[in-house]
Amino acid sequence: MEIPSKVSIYCPLLDAKGTPAKLMSIGKDGYYHLEVSVKGNVHTVFAPIQHTALLFSEPEPQLEQDFEIER
């Protein structure tokens, strides 16, 4: 996961249901620092980690089939 990253946010406290945003940082005090576009303007949003789900726009890279992890 790289930051900043494009995400969709799901947060009932903000009434966000798949709202596009950019994750700027993850605060030690329990908040995601997000930038959200509203009516053509970019706004900063601090969403509580406990009540927010993030879906990253970029999928995880696929591992090669013959790649083995030594245990």
* Bigger pLDDT: 32 vs 62: 32
Q: Give the span between the Cα atoms of 8 and 28, in whole angstroms.
A: 21
**Residue 54 pLDDT greater than 80, yes or no:** yes
Of 58, 55, 44, whose CA–CA distance to 2 is shortest?
58
Rounded-to-integer distance, Cα 56 and Cα 3, Å? 11
> What is the rounded average pLDDT of the residues 48-60?
90
SS3 17: strand
Task: Show the domains of the chain with their CATH numbers.
Answer: 5-56 (2.30.30)
Quote the percentage of the chain above a pLDDT of 70: 92
Distance CA 57, CA 68 (A): 27
pTM of the model: 0.78
